Amino acid sequence: MVDLNKFEQDIGLKFQNRDLLKQAFIHRSYLNEHREIKLGHNERLEFLGDAVLELVVTDFLYQKYPDKPEGELTAYRAALVNAVTLSGQAGDLGMNDYLLLSKGEAKDKGRARQIILANVFEAVVGAIYLDQGYIGAKKFIEQTVLVEDEKNVSAGLAQDSKSFFQRKAQEVFSVTPSYKILSELGPDHNKKFVVGLYLGEEQVAEGEGHSKQEAEQEAAKNGLEAKNWQGSY
């Protein structure tokens, strides 16, 4: 297992239960090759961290932009917590150095690694929440995701097809788009999701990826093309 002392120093936290932090960096694929590891993979922590992150960011945006409507706040939030933004934060914190991956996953440096890093960031948030409580998790999120929110929102909106499609759908049709998983293929450690993008009952496009987030982004990108909205993207 990796030594996480430096990571704790870098984020300014000392874990009471170090196993929580260790688990945040364990990818499901690693356990398939290391049956002796007693800790679980990080997906439950990721699930928890995603909810904590969304609450902290939502509260922050609600307080900071009292005159912004729900649609714009939703787009701002998506820009701050999308895979591009979170993987960038994870990279800045050196999380890649602590990842425990299978040999196959370790070779992939492209989009799949970006998704893994974003998920690890959420898992770390979940670990901090369990170990340090809501205040500790909030402080970490403020120091990373929210420290330069205006710049991050601008950058995120520029890269985030999903946020842009939502804004256009609300502007043109007064409808919030929805996403539905159409199929899941492959083993757990290398699953592929196919997602449908809908405006009401109309299926606008489909997208696929190695995570739900990636598939939704691909569906939104295809939806922009289908609606001929990419010109102002």
Residue 31 has a pLDDT of 83
Q: Is 225 annotated as a binding residue?
A: no
- The active-site residue, picked from 50, 105, 131, 218, is 50
3-state secondary structure of 142: helix
Q: Is 36 annotated as a binding residue?
A: no
In the chain (233 residues long), the average pLDDT of successive 10-residue segments reads: 85 94 92 81 95 97 90 82 88 92 69 84 98 97 89 68 84 92 84 93 92 87 89 52
Residue 189 has a pLDDT of 67
Q: Note the CATH architecture for domain 161-232.
A: 2-Layer Sandwich (3.30)
Q: Is 119 annotated as a binding residue?
A: yes
E-only strand ranges, 53-147: none
Residues in the chain: 233
Residue 231 has a pLDDT of 55
Residue 202 has a pLDDT of 95
- The verdict on whether 50 is a catalytic residue reads yes
Please state, in angstroms and rounded to a whole number, the distance separating the CA atoms of residues 31 and 111: 22
The token duo for 147 is 């420290």
Question: In degrees, to the nearest 5, what angle opens at C-alpha 6 toward C-alphas 82 and 107?
Answer: 55
Start and end residues for every CATH 1.10.1520.10 domain found in the chain: 5-159
Residue 156 has a pLDDT of 65
CATH T-level fold of 5-159: Ribonuclease iii, N-terminal Endonuclease Domain; Chain A (1.10.1520)
Residue 232 has a pLDDT of 52
Please state, in angstroms and rounded to a whole number, the distance separating the CA atoms of residues 157 and 164: 7
CA contacts within 13 A on the Cβ side of 182? 16
Residue 71, CA distances (Å) to 51, 67, 169 in order: 19, 12, 10
Residue 110 has a pLDDT of 60
- The active-site residue, picked from 8, 33, 122, 131, is 122
The residue written with tokens 């699930």 in the block is: 47
Do the Cβ atoms of 83 and 164 come closer than 8 Å? no
Residue 153 has a pLDDT of 75
The residue written with tokens 């509260």 in the block is: 59
Start and end residues for every CATH 3.30.160.20 domain found in the chain: 161-232
